[in-house]
Amino acid sequence: MSEENHPQEEDGAVDAMAAIAIVVIPVVAVVYWLSGLPSS
């Protein structure tokens, strides 16, 4: 039975990593874009 649960655990890890990437990438992009703007 543990073999049946293993793919589900991998899917959960992949889903978690994808959710983190979806949140982190736009935040990093906005911070990078704002850091390039003139401060005046």
Number of domains in the chain: 1
Q: Which helix (H) or strand (E) holds 22?
A: helix 2-35
**Which tens digits make up the pLDDT trace of 2-39?**
555 566 677 899 999 999 999 999 999 999 999 987 76
For residue 13, being part of any structural domain is answered with yes
Q: What is the DSSP letter of 36?
A: T
For residue 8, being part of any structural domain is answered with yes
For residue 3, being part of any structural domain is answered with yes
For residue 1, being part of any structural domain is answered with yes
For residue 11, being part of any structural domain is answered with yes
For residue 26, being part of any structural domain is answered with yes
Question: Does 1 have pLDDT greater than 50?
Answer: no
- Hey, what long-range contacts does 34-39 have (CB within 8 A, 24 or more apart)? none
What sign does the dihedral 23-24-28-29 (CA atoms) show?
A: negative
Angle at CA of residue 27, ends 21 and 10, nearest 5°: 10
For residue 16, being part of any structural domain is answered with yes
* Residue 25, domain extent: 1-35
**Which tens digits make up the pLDDT trace of 27-36?**
999 999 999 8
